[in-house]
Structure 1
Amino acid sequence: MTDLPIVVGVDGSEPSLRAVDWAADEAARRGAPLRLVHASLWERYEGGLLAPDRDEPPERMLIEDIAAVASRRARRRRPDVEVTTEVLPEEPDYALIRESRAALLMVLGCRGRGEIAEALLGSVSVTVAGHAHCPVVVLRGSHDNQARAGIRGRVVLGAGEKPAESAAARFAAEEALLRGVPLRVVRAWRRPVHATGEPADVHERQAAEILEEVLRFAPAGLDVDRRTVEGYARDALIAVSRQADLLVVGARRRPGHGLQLGRVAHGVLHHAACPVAVVPELS
């Protein structure tokens, strides 16, 4: 049990309601309250933007109705979870980043595929993931807007330079234990272009050593397997996301400079086939 809430950014769209479903399941799993936040400088939304999960006619609706629809959805999904709502008259990214200071987890929907969808993802989700003070989960993967229980039975961690000591590794291990599924730790490796004559297995061994660190510090009872993959980390993680229920990556925090998502985190946020958790790391 925890007093810290799981916070969901809601905007009336079906993807944001899918995020509500997913977050409600996580809140039940963790014994945490659920907090639904709608932030906008608009006074009203067009009814056409709202999901059909409501009894009201498809007309212009007050922004308070967006939070009310999300709240009803959460309570139907998980009646045992405490649900609160908040409507904030400000830019969503600033509001959600501030909310993350007192959150266990932040959950955001993803609008789907295509250039317009990716631009929408970048406008809020990437900004929040890059500056939040708690782990941020972006609901990639299922484009039918239905949140389902994990069907692949695996959490995947993209291993950084110090995975055993990282917040991302701890988060991934906790998620796997909570779900009762194995944790797969993946480390990509490449031989530098300038390293002519240097055996490739040197770099593969270095990747394997990093994975051994994860195994050494894995919690008791956690089923962990390791994979070294030759190639770019972004491509390797996108590929393995097709067999995962959750992909976890770290974001490096530098004092005075905020988070540094890097190319790998940006890539998986835009292209992974499953939900992606971005976990802040301290340098």
Structure 2
Amino acid sequence: MAATMPLVVGVDGSEPSLDTVDWAAREAALHMMPLRLAHAAAPGQDASGAITAASERARDVAAGLRLPSDVPRDDAVSALTGEGHRAFALVVGARGHGELTGLLLGSVGLAVAARADCPVVVVRGSQEHRTGRFGRIVVGVEDGAESDTAVEYAFREAHVRQCELMAVHAWSAPLGALPEPPPGSWYALEAHRRPPAQVLDDVLRGPAKRYADATVPRRVVEGPARRALPEAAAKADLLVVDAGERHGRPGLQLGVINHVLLHHAPCPVMVVPRK
């Protein structure tokens, strides 16, 4: 996560794309890193207008920002995922130029979030959710080591923003579990070994030591993560989640929870691939 790596934002000249540039410019300024403007253009297409408009918008938000640009001759998904090989993160809009208005998330943003090997931020939500009004980041915490990388990014985001980080772990009792399992039962044994609050303690212990000044309230929710995380993010500036297993295959492998979040979360969503 070296600061010399650029933050890359996809631009297409549309107004939603310029709103995404606003968010990306503020983020790049916070991290003191370059903001790379990427516009996928077909052969013979003039991309200068989109790049110029995005550059002007970024400078209005953060004067003095370094703004390298690139016009890869490829489709938008391939171009952006290619940029991700050498980026701190990729930033895309919830909708882009030419997207059907009925779609809650543009096809480019969804595909990039599923395939990139660096974090991807899909900028969505109202203006108050995109401008740091709430002073809070929410991170989804899973059982085991699956969310370690996402948690690390969430701590860093909270550190550079000097804001609160709320850690949320959603859990459900095993199907058919008794309200009060008898002593010695499998369910009682599992609950004793790994109570939900312990999941948060174990995952947060390392990052909390590295970011000792962080304020990290914790929330354990009995119920599905696809409901718990949007509810927690209702008053948040960013929601950070793990990308899930991809199994080395191309395609949309984000899983049900992340699909729901990318389509319905009230704020920008950062999807972080596992190391």
- Report TM bin, short chain: 0.7 to 0.9
CA distance in 2, matches of 1:118, 1:154: 30
Percent identity for Structure 1 against Structure 2? 45
Q: Give 1:197 shift.
A: 5.4
Q: 1:156 is aligned with what amino acid? A: V
Give the aligned partner of residue 270 of structure 2. 277
* 2:201 aligned to which of 202, 212, 224: 212
Written as runs of structure 1 = structure 2, the 5 A alignment for 1:82-231 is 82-111=66-95, 116-117=100-101, 119=103, 121-142=105-126, 149-162=131-144, 166-196=148-178, 199=181, 206-217=195-206, 218=208, 219-231=211-223
Q: Is the Cα contact below 8 Å between 1:182 and 1:223 reproduced in 2?
A: yes
CA distance in 2, matches of 1:91, 1:275: 24
Q: 1:241 is aligned with what amino acid? A: A
CA distance in 2, matches of 1:263, 1:231: 15
CA distance in 1, matches of 2:235, 2:104: 26
SS at match of 1:128: helix
Deviates more, 1:182-191 or 1:253-262: 253-262
* 2:258 aligned to which of 265, 273, 277: 265
* 2:51 aligned to which of 36, 49, 67: 67
Q: TM-score, normalised by structure 1?
A: 0.83
Q: 2:68 is aligned with what amino acid? A: T
Give the aligned partner of residue 53 of structure 1. none
Q: 1:174 is aligned with what amino acid? A: R
Q: Is the Cα contact below 8 Å between 1:118 and 1:270 reproduced in 2?
A: no
Q: Give 1:148 shift.
A: 5.1
Q: Is the Cα contact below 8 Å between 2:124 and 2:130 reproduced in 1?
A: no
Q: 1:128 is aligned with what amino acid? A: V
Q: Is the Cα contact below 8 Å between 1:191 and 1:203 reproduced in 2?
A: no
Q: Is the Cα contact below 8 Å between 2:39 and 2:76 reproduced in 1?
A: yes
Give the aligned partner of residue 17 of structure 1. 18
Q: Is the Cα contact below 8 Å between 2:129 and 2:266 reproduced in 1?
A: no
Q: Is the Cα contact below 8 Å between 2:168 and 2:221 reproduced in 1?
A: yes
SS at match of 2:159: helix
Deviating runs (4+, > 6 A) in structure 1?
A: none
- After superposition, the C-alpha distances for 1:150-200 in whole angstroms (9 at most, x for unaligned) are 111111001112359711000000001111111111011112333345559
CA distance in 1, matches of 2:237, 2:116: 22
Q: Give 1:25 shift.
A: 0.8
Pair 1:260–1:209, CA change in 2 (3 A): farther
Q: Give 1:203 shift.
A: 5.7
> What are structure 1's unaligned runs of at least 5 residues?
45-61
Q: Give 1:255 shift.
A: 5.6
Give the aligned partner of residue 37 of structure 1. 38
Structure whose residues are more often strand by fraction: 1
Q: TM-score, normalised by structure 2?
A: 0.85
CA RMSD of aligned residues (A): 2.7
Give the aligned partner of residue 184 of structure 2. none
Q: Give 1:82 shift.
A: 0.4
Q: Is the Cα contact below 8 Å between 1:249 and 1:279 reproduced in 2?
A: yes
Q: 2:23 is aligned with what amino acid? A: W
Q: Is the Cα contact below 8 Å between 2:148 and 2:203 reproduced in 1?
A: no
* 2:244 aligned to which of 238, 244, 252: 252
Q: Is the Cα contact below 8 Å between 1:163 and 1:210 reproduced in 2?
A: no
